[in-house]
Amino acid sequence: MKTAAAILAMAVCAWAGDGRDDAARRLDTMRVTVDFENVKLPEAIDYLREVTGINLVILPKAMEKDGEASIRLKVKDLSVKSVLKLLLTSRGLTAAYRDGALVVLPKEDLQDSASMRIFDVRALQVKIQDFGGPSIELSTSKKPGITIVNLEEPHSVIPDDFLLDMIKANTGGGTWDSNPKAALNLTGGTLVVTQTPAVLREIENLINLLGQYQ
């Protein structure tokens, strides 16, 4: 049985080939210097697309929300994710992964599509004991009988907090913070998630991937 840390390391490596995850890593790790002076949002997004290689697309609805207003932003050596937040948050916009691209859209469009789903993650968290059955011994007391020695209960391999942090770090991009409807709770091996359909699919893929390394 792999340890929790080993499982996480292998999961991250296995996800390396996924385009969505590659874009997420670029958002977090790539740092850029920008000097936008009275440019429009499409121009700023075009620049970030060229610099990062990430497929960035602006939906028409996003342009209706102050998309034509001039942008003034000057930052040095800042993550692409932070630059996007500075560009989009004040305009009521956000970004989400759709059809292989990072799409700029109104926040309410993303939040309204949130739904709840329940995942059974007990197989990830509980180590199956390697035993044939309980130990049965003849009693040596005056009263004949059989004594059943119970084996210890299975213990957790991946703690709740660790699994929740892993899911947030590897799915959803920045939506866990930007979407007020997003929620993640884990009790007794039952994971209850409220998120957009796209993020729910990411979580399902991650859980399936982790299960391969049990």
Looking at residue 210, what is its pLDDT? 85
Looking at residue 19, what is its pLDDT? 62
Mean pLDDT, contiguous 10-residue spans, the chain (214 residues) = 46 48 84 93 94 92 80 93 91 83 84 84 72 54 54 63 91 80 90 89 90 72
Looking at residue 167, what is its pLDDT? 93
Residues 147, 137 contacting (CB under 8 angstroms)? yes
Q: Which domains does the chain have, with CATH numbers?
A: 19-111 (3.55.50.30), 112-211 (no CATH)
Looking at residue 197, what is its pLDDT? 83
Looking at residue 100, what is its pLDDT? 80
Looking at residue 1, what is its pLDDT? 43
Looking at residue 155, what is its pLDDT? 52
